[in-house]
Chain A
């Protein structure tokens, strides 16, 4: 990645984190840890990888991006807003009465392809989009961002099996693999490890990447599909709560709310990083 591109990503990731912290505080909502773990993926995805255009969010040949872990949607909303899909001041009314942005991602917001919130919904719909694109001879790709918890759902594995079976190489699954879920460590609840060989055995081509290293993210995503005839999975090693020291790797920040004091502390850390 060129230095200027990296700078764009660093700045955008920082602004996403700052927005998320303020949104969660203003809205008295939760899921901040799940937002922060994805904050470095979106800048690379939206500035370097996806063929999308904020001036034409519905353009026919756009790459589709679906967020399956809809509870972490504020990070995507912050990214979309920064890129001009909708006014920044919408973020101030996130999770508020008569606001435009709900706690889980909604397709009523410009730039949001699909509404989620209950886990295990993104991959099946992405499979349908992949099938439709193949049938119509279109070349756009379908990206879907899942989480550890998302991959507990049987419906996700139903879709994983089907995509491998049909060789949908226009389908790209990204996993925010932060190893924590609502009630604790994924390893102690449903251990997905080893995920790469599991997916490979289901007919996918899977790689790991550092979800907080822009170069690593870019290298993983730049040339998908990795292998013709196979869907691609990129397992991003991430840290839940990344960027705020007292939130990092603490599962209580799946739900936890912010006090004014903690907000100030968190904002300062992100601003000074």
Chain B
């Protein structure tokens, strides 16, 4: 997915001379083509994320589009005040891109797990939050992000994410939109990000049992597609939200807020997220997902419980 982002960005930068890439010594193996093509629009600030974010803000305030790009929490939590005071308060055209959302870097430990980022980024005024789930969405999200004038947080996966869209482009991909992947009425499974593969597998297992679920990728967490969420509450038998993020304040919370605000509080509802603990067990992303309640079986069981 990170490769798709970088390829898409490079294509845009060839056409748009205002695109700058501002790094903090991360991006090996991916950012070199941009650096080679646009050396005057590329800067490595060294291992200094606060400065990276401030520099990006200054560059953007001069009429440019500045990308900060790093692993997990480095361009968000490490420099959160710069993101809030400099980027968001000035509504600067800065795009904050992380590689390795959730527990993509599972074995590296909690310093490299981005598991509270959605809650924190969506709490910031002026910030748009995008969480693409596969290569198709990663490319489309890059395009809409770069066309948008203002701060965007882009939570990228890492590599090898399975295709959820059959390689087909998504019509009407937009900030504030969502993507319908399977139609159904028994229940709706919402997800955001590459964890969607477990939701898709679960929906297929359920379909084989005769339980036809709606499957929707909420690639835009802020603004969120309220209409689709409300329709799911009214048209299907319940809502399950799967996310690779702490239970507090993430995608499930964002969906719950819509349901309550829009008078849909009675719909059966279940959040599947990382429990509110530090992920201390050591393992791969796939293994950790299973250990912490985000596996295919967890989704299947949640839906079965809801529709029985």
Contacts and interface: CB of A to CB of B under 8 A. Distances in A.
7 contacts: A116-B85, A128-B60, A128-B62, A129-B59, A155-B51, A161-B48, A162-B46
Contacts of A154: 50
B267 interface: no
Contacts of A129: 58-59, 61-62
A131 B85 CA distance: 20
Given A118-B85, A155-B82, A162-B55, A132 B50 contact: no
Nearest to B66: A128
Contacts, number: 93
Nearest to B53: A124
Given A107-B90, A124-B50, A135-B20, 12 more contacts: A114-B61, A124-B58, A125-B61, A127-B54, A127-B55, A128-B60, A128-B66, A129-B58, A129-B61, A132-B61, A154-B50, A165-B46
B62 A158 contact: no
Q: Is the interface of A mostly helix, strand, loop or mixed?
A: helix
A128 B59 contact: yes
Interface in A107-132: 107, 114-118, 120-121, 123-132
A135 B60 CA distance: 13
B46 A158 contact: yes
A159 interface: yes
Given A125-B58, A128-B60, A120 B50 contact: yes
A244 interface: no
Nearest to A137: B40
B41 A135 contact: yes
B257 interface: no
Interface residues of B, number: 29
The size class of the interface chain A forms with chain B is 20 to 34
Contacts of A195: none
A52 interface: no
A128 B57 contact: yes
Given A124-B50, A155-B82, A115 B58 contact: no
Given A115-B89, A124-B82, A158-B46, A132 B59 contact: yes
A144 B168 CA distance: 50
B58 A132 contact: yes
B61 A159 contact: no
Contact of A128 (B40, B48, B61, B85): B61
B120 to A, nearest CB: 17
A273 interface: no
Contacts of A49: none
A131 B86 contact: no
Interface in B21-47: 22, 40-41, 43, 45-46
A158 B61 contact: no
Interface string B50-83: 1101111111111110100000000000000110
Nearest to B43: A131
A127 B51 contact: yes
A114 to B, nearest CB: 7
A118 B82 CA distance: 9
Given A128-B66, A132-B62, A132-B64, A159 B54 contact: yes
A185 interface: no
Given A121-B86, A125-B61, A162-B45, A131 B55 contact: yes
Contact of B85 (A115, A162, A165): A115
Contacts of B61: 114, 125, 128-129, 132
A243 to B, nearest CB: 31
A133 interface: yes
Contact of B50 (A131, A136, A158): A158
B230 to A, nearest CB: 36
B50 A155 contact: yes
Residue of A116, A128, A131 contacting most chain B CB atoms (<10 Å)? A128
Nearest to A133: B62
Nearest to B58: A128
A124 B2 CA distance: 27
Given A131-B43, A155-B51, A159-B51, A121 B85 contact: yes
A132 B22 CA distance: 12
Nearest to A125: B58
Contacts of A127: 51, 54-55, 58
A128 B20 CA distance: 11
Contact of B54 (A117, A124, A132, A166): A124
Contacts of B43: 131, 166
Contacts of A120: 50
A124 B82 CA distance: 10
Interface in A127-175: 127-133, 135-136, 154-155, 158-159, 161-162, 165-166
Contacts of B56: 128
A125 B57 contact: yes
Interface string B229-273: 000000000000000000000000000000000000000000000
